[in-house]
Amino acid sequence: MESDCLFCRIVAGEIPATIVRETDKTLAFRDITPKAPVHVLVIPKEHYADVATLGQGDPALAGEVLATAATVAEEEGLLGDGFRLMFNTGAYGGQEVFHVHAHLLGGAPLGPMLA
């Protein structure tokens, strides 16, 4: 755990969050400022700064994040109409919280990502 990391503090229970799914190694909770009718963040409990570090450092854990995202998508009723799963990465990617997180977005048409 990194004590100055917002999402590590959510994992530790120090900051409240609306948790929708928890596994041994992952956590899914609702984004505090939702950008779609469904907007859930899916993270590994272990701290990795971004998806590049996670994907190279622990590909099995990256797979568990994807599995949790898929289960939450199903539970939120997104499988039929579809959804977007997105990892903002680094400055150019618009990442603001440097604990890797997948944005699961759905519940309405999201349009093309690169308009």
Active site residues: 101
Q: Which of 99, 101, 103, 105 binds Zn ion (CB under 5 A)?
A: 99
CB atoms within 10 A of CB 90: 12
6 contributes a contact to ligand 5GP by CB under 6 A: yes
Whose Cβ is closer to ligand 5GP: residue 6's or residue 70's? 6
Total residues belonging to the chain: 115
Q: Which of 4, 96, 111, 112 binds ligand 5GP (CB under 6 A)?
A: 96
Burial class (CB in 10 A: 0-12, 13-18, 19+), 31: middle
User: Which pair of tokens denotes residue 47?
Assistant: 């701290």
Helix (H) or strand (E) holding 38: strand 38-44
Number of residues that bind ligand 5GP (CB under 6 A): 12
53 contributes a contact to ligand 5GP by CB under 6 A: no
8 contributes a contact to ligand 5GP by CB under 6 A: no
Interior angle at CA 25, CA 23 and CA 28, nearest 5: 55
104 contributes a contact to ligand 5GP by CB under 6 A: no
97 contributes a contact to ligand 5GP by CB under 6 A: yes
